[in-house]
Amino acid sequence: MHSLLEDYLMEIAKHLTVLPPAQRVEELREMRQHLLNAVVVSQEEGLSEEDSLHSAIEQFGPPAEWGQNLVQVWQRGERIQNRRSFWGAAVCVVVVSSLGNGLLRLLPPHLTSAWCWVFVVMVISGAISGMAFPRRAASAVSCAMALLYLVTLYPRVFAVAPPGSRLVDLLFSSLIYLADGLLFGAITVLAAWGGSRWRAHGTQISQG
């Protein structure tokens, strides 16, 4: 009986290859339990073990249908999680970096005069965002940083330019600010990626 059950589950497993291994194992575990329950009930009604399993498998349905339905549902779940994670990560990095930079302004200047503190805030905000929202954290953070930079810092190119600045000077200042922005963004995205990897590693350890 067990070979028939395992063959059936293996057929279903062939249609579940897109699922993460842990989830695939859990789905198959639950299906195995369901079929064994069905066999026990059928045997209590008088059927032989083999007939009970055949009946249970027939009622359970074709492996391809099972696989297709479960994969579709899993993909739905991934879309929902990715959407939540993207916006969560973007909001998280904006809020943490804004709070961090605000805190820097409140502290005495002699403590925060070194501009590297801004990098520290960016790294911390990226890491927190990555740990809290590991999916899509890197892409969300890069989008959030790009928007934040364009909206808040880039206009400073024109605000700080002395009157009568030449177009060439403005373009040169723009390039400097752009390079700054890319560097800030890259560091924050790297920190977000690191945070998400740290959390994924921690999850793997806890799941054994």
Decide: is 38 part of the binding site for other proteins (CB under 8 A).
yes
Position among 24, 60, 98, 120 found at the interface with other proteins (CB under 8 A): 60
> What number of chain residues touch other proteins (CB under 8 A)?
26
Decide: is 145 part of the binding site for other proteins (CB under 8 A).
no
Q: Give the C-alpha distances (Å, rounded to integers) separating 91 from 58, 65, 166, 190.
A: 49, 40, 37, 17
Position among 1, 22, 80, 171 found at the interface with other proteins (CB under 8 A): 80
Would you say 17 or 37 has its CB closer to other proteins?
37
Residues 40, 34: Cα–Cα separation, whole Å: 10
Would you say 55 or 101 has its CB closer to other proteins?
55
Q: How far is the CB of 130 from other proteins (least distance, A)?
A: 23
Q: Are 192 and 129 in contact (CB under 8 A)?
A: yes
Residues 119, 187: Cα–Cα separation, whole Å: 8
User: Which segment (56-64, 88-96, 141-149, 187-195) binds other proteins by CB under 8 A?
Assistant: 56-64
Residues 35, 55: Cα–Cα separation, whole Å: 10
Quote the longest CA-to-CA distance of the chain: 97
- What sign does the dihedral 103-107-113-117 (CA atoms) show? negative
Decide: is 14 part of the binding site for other proteins (CB under 8 A).
no
For residue 75, give both structure tokens.
């993909």
Q: Can you give the binding site for other proteins, defined by CB under 8 A?
A: 26-27, 29-34, 36-38, 41, 59-62, 65-66, 69-70, 72-74, 76-77, 80
